[in-house]
Structure 1
Amino acid sequence: MPQQTRRTFLKVSGGVLGGIAAGTTVAAAERTDRFIVETGGNDDLGGLTVVHELAGVDYAVVRGEVSEVEAASGVADYAPDVDVELDDPSPNEDAPTVSEPSVEDEPGYPLQWDKQALDVPTAHETTKGEGTRVTIIDTGVAAGHPDLDVNETLSRNFTGDGFGSANAAGGYHGTHVGGIVAASTDNEAGVAGTAPETDLVDCRVFSPSALASFGDILAAVVYSAAIDADVANLSLGAYPIPRQAVGEFFGKALNRIMTYANSQGTLLVIAAGNDSADLQHDKNFISLPNEGAQGVSVSATGPIGFGWGDEGVEAPAESPAFYTNYGTNALDLGAPGGDADLNAIGTGVPWYYDLVFNTIAVPQYRTNEEDEVIGIDGYEYSYNWVAGTSMAAPQVAGAAALVKSANPDYNANQVESALEAAAEVPEGYDKTYYGAGFLNVVDAL
């Protein structure tokens, strides 16, 4: 069954298709109450309320009126904060929600074509990520999920929404990402993560509204460096942002903060985006944060036909996913994020097996008459299939934790170099979809 073209997909989907993410975007309206300011080392911010002090980089996130920002002597430059909207699909509607997958040790492993393609069991003969720390900057990683061990002490809620951290208050997405990195492999239940022994930390930047402040994201990056995280995973982004005006300011701030985090030993692994965009030739626009300095930008790959029957796959696990952003010099690595044959949907074949299977936590929101979330009554923990570059990035984040664990003296650049040196562009495919190549965890070790 042939895949549809990327252009056709964007017309058909309108944004999201059961379990397949189709991009993150900047919300139309800029914030009028919050600003990201460059201080130039001057701490005099007048009457402004500091929401996040971005220590070490001479930036801050503040709340106040624009007149107060312009009057503050400590503000060298500024831009309104903006909201990033996560086009977060519901867990695949066609796929069965699996509470207790059953096959051998980690019973869900036979459904994990991604971990099989990366030969994670062989990598685990060297290390499972001991002695490392990975932060997940996302919708929240559920410490209550039976397949996850989350460091609740270090976890933080950057949103100010009052719903705490180490939970899925912002939606299931972060728990799926966290599971790809670090789902347990010693409980004979559920699925396998790439680095199950890493110290997993939740940095929640999305609220139940599904919006994240760009300022909160920057603060989470700085915090990751402050707690000595070896890797920070950002399965989020904003595209397209004009390179001029606000985009120029954001690019400058982001580059400084990402370079700072990298210098502190924190490797930033970032989803390339699901807009089917050529990031190398879109000269008037920029994709953030994956096109920022010192980040590892990850595209998505996936099979067609995994588990459909005895005839084998029509496309291998390392083939580019139809939705992934691309561009040789805009990417660093390709990794399993899931693919789909849209023509197979509704035909009775298990097309969703080509998505990525891992942990999810679905919040049970309590709302008022205006449909605003006023509380969370609990979470449903299970497993399901989702696809996107959001799923590809944590494959690399987990691999980076393994490399760091095996080489504790490596700095962030050396970890990245090891991953890129081991990667190769698959035979018969175009380098524009991979950067250095397809992730090879075993050779990177």
Structure 2
Amino acid sequence: MVDRSRRDVLKFSGALLGGIAVGSTVTAAESSDRFLLEAKKRSVSDVEADGLDVVFDLSETGYFLVEGAEKDLQRTKGKYAPDIELSFDGGVKRVDADVDAPSATDEPLYGYQWDKQAQRIPEAHETTRGEGARVAIIDSGVDAAHPDLGHAVDEELSRNFTGDGQGAANAAGGYHGSHVGGIVAANDQNEKGVVGTAPGADLVDCRVFTESGGGSFGIVLAAVAYSAQIDADVANLSLGAYPVPRQELGSFYGKALNSVMTHANSQGTLLTISTGNDAADLQHDKNFISIPNEGAQAVGVSATGPVGFGWGGDGLEAPFDSPANYTNYGTNAVTLSAPGGDYDPAFPTGWYYDMVLNTISEPEFDENGDYMGSAPDYSWIAGTSMAAPQVAGAAALVKSAAPEMSANQVESLLKRTATDGTGGKEYHGSGFVDPVGALKEL
């Protein structure tokens, strides 16, 4: 362990972003000028003829996301509903890294990556590093300027879905997406920083959040549909809203969510989604729903973490596969568990080592609010947001080694080879993800 002072940075996140939510609440507001509209065999030109602007053509999934006046919507054929703008009020617990230590690999911070050690990632790389696989990161932005991410980010395919004009393949929406992207594909061959699960895979930045945290249900659906369109093997959604009253979501949006997610799965795109950080029992919360992880075809991922890694006694108080204190759970919502990090701030030093260390990029803006670049760095963060990309990375390894497998076949393999986690099935679903075990079955 290095000798360093504790820097506990409590950051407030934007809409829907994961991390450790402290006293979180979710609010939803209906947009007054943007709507989700059933396609009903109509073309873009048909909809535009009614005086509407098509923001995203989702007609392959049965919908359009449109802008316009509701009076124009009322003249159209088919059902519609206002887009739902969601905001998340809460905290992300994060500790910035300031370390330089020897490593078991050539990456100097690998010694702090208990998450990769628990999954035996160097052994998995003896089979594949994820070459040929494509992973879409639907988040706040994956920064191609980060020295541990530039090798992986496909800037040509990356898209900004927010309409804020700040571009894509950057950190304009905040540091969160770069941390998620690094967990999947941080460079293992540059002798800098950290290692990702599938560093040979391509990352596509699908940015759905602005720097202020703005996002909406409709643009997340658009990003999922786009991921399928570009033949992404995996789309990772380290985002979600809970508790959303079932009646507030409504049957229209429930149908739309399931339609888009089912379409993506049918096109070969596996959807890895964080289950949320409210310590909530999703099995028995009858009046509420967690979205999108309770949608059709979701691979819901709960978080695990140690207590005492690198700073405790001879043995860990809790092993790597122990449920994190904040993770949502429930046999209907959890498909797999994976390292997301735990923490015990009651200890004066060292507790942050139990969180997940990986890449971040801090966005920088000029006085006019224009994106000017980023400050790349590394940070410990904990949340189911960190767990979902562990499974996305494992799926990328499988697809690299067996590109003929469908999304359902990849999911089945990961579930079948998962190991028994500490605690009940409500926390682990089919078990704790095991990339090496999955590759050995191919």
TM-score, L = length of structure 1: 0.90
Structure 2 CA distance, aligned partners of 1:313 and 1:367? 48
Question: What residue is the counterpart of 1:6 in the other structure?
Answer: none
User: Which residue is equivalent to 1:82?
Assistant: 84
Q: Distance in 2 between matches of 1:166 and 1:221?
A: 17
**In the TM superposition, what is the alpha-carbon distance from 1:152 to its structure 2 partner?**
0.3
Residue equivalent to 1:51: 55
Q: Structure 1, residues 131-182: CA drift from partner, whole Å, max 9, x if none?
A: 1100000000000000012100100001110000000100000000000000
| 1:431 counterpart residue number | 425
- Return the alpha-carbon distance in structure 1 between the equivalents of residues 59 and 411 of structure 2: 25
Is the CA contact 2:21–2:92 (under 8 Å) kept in the aligned structure 1?
no
Does residue 207 of the first structure (1) align with residue 210 of the second (2)?
yes
Please state how far the C-alpha of 1:364 moved relative to its aligned partner. Answer: 1.6
1:385-409 Cα distance to aligned partner (Å, 9 max, x none):
0000000000000000011111111
- Whether 1:406 and 2:401 are equivalent positions in the alignment is yes
Q: Deviations over 1:27-71 (max 9, x none)?
A: 342211111111222233211111001131120111112221122
Pair 1:231–1:86, CA change in 2 (3 A)? farther
| CA contact 2:414–2:435 (8 Å) conserved in 1 | yes
- Residue 282 in 1 paired to residue 285 in 2? yes
Task: Decide whether the 8 Å contact of 2:19 with 2:384 is kept in 1.
Answer: no
Counterpart contact for 2:29–2:86, Cα < 8 Å:
no
Structure 1 counterpart of 2:148, one-letter code: D
Contact 1:27–1:82 under 8 Å retained in 2: no
Mapping of 1:340-379 within 5 angstroms? 340-344=343-347, 347=348, 349-367=349-367, 374-379=369-374
Deviates more, 1:101-110 or 1:321-330: 101-110
CA contact (8 A) 1:298 1:389 kept: yes
User: Is the contact made by 1:26 and 1:82 (CA closer than 8 Å) also made in structure 2?
Assistant: no
C-alpha distance in 1 between matches for 2:389 and 2:90? 16
Given the alignment, which residue of 217, 222, 235 partners 2:220? 217
The correspondence of residues 178-193 of structure 1 with structure 2, limited to 5 A, is: 178-193=181-196
Quick one: distance in 1 between partners of 2:115 and 2:89?
A: 23
CA contact 2:144–2:170 (8 Å) conserved in 1: yes
The aligned counterpart of 1:271 is: 274
Unaligned 5+ residue runs, structure 1? 1-12, 369-373
Deviation at 1:256, TM superposition (A): 0.5
1:155 and 1:203 in contact (8 A); partners too: yes
CA distance in structure 1 between the partners assigned to 2:37 and 2:25 by the alignment: 22
Whether the 8 Å contact between 2:240 and 2:274 is mirrored in structure 1 is yes
Stretch of structure 1 that moved more, 62-71 or 114-123: 62-71
Distance 1:431 1:410 in 2: 26
Please name the residue that 1:9 is paired with: none
Could you state the TM-score of these two structures normalised by the residue count of structure 2? 0.90
**Structure 1's 52 and 444: CA in aligned 2 closer, same or farther, altered over 3 A?**
same
**Equivalent residue letter for 1:21:** I
Q: Secondary structure at the match of 2:60?
A: coil
- Given residue 430 of structure 2, which amino acid in structure 1 is its aligned partner? A
TM superposition shift of 1:311: 2.5
Structure 1 vs Structure 2 CA RMSD: 2.0
State the distance in 1 between where 2:202 and 2:61 align.
26
Whether 1:313 and 2:316 are equivalent positions in the alignment is yes
Q: What count of residue pairs does the alignment treat as equivalent?
A: 418
1:221-232 aligned at under 5 Å gives the runs 221-232=224-235
Pairwise CA distance, 1:292 = 0.5
User: Residue 183 of structure 2 contacts residue 393 of structure 2 at CA under 8 Å; is this kept in 1?
Assistant: yes
Q: Percent identity?
A: 60
Report if aligned partners of 2:158, 2:205 keep a CA contact under 8 Å in 1: yes
CA contact (8 A) 2:19 2:385 kept: no
Deviations 1:274-294 (A, max 9, x none): 111111111111111100001
Aligned position for 2:5:
none
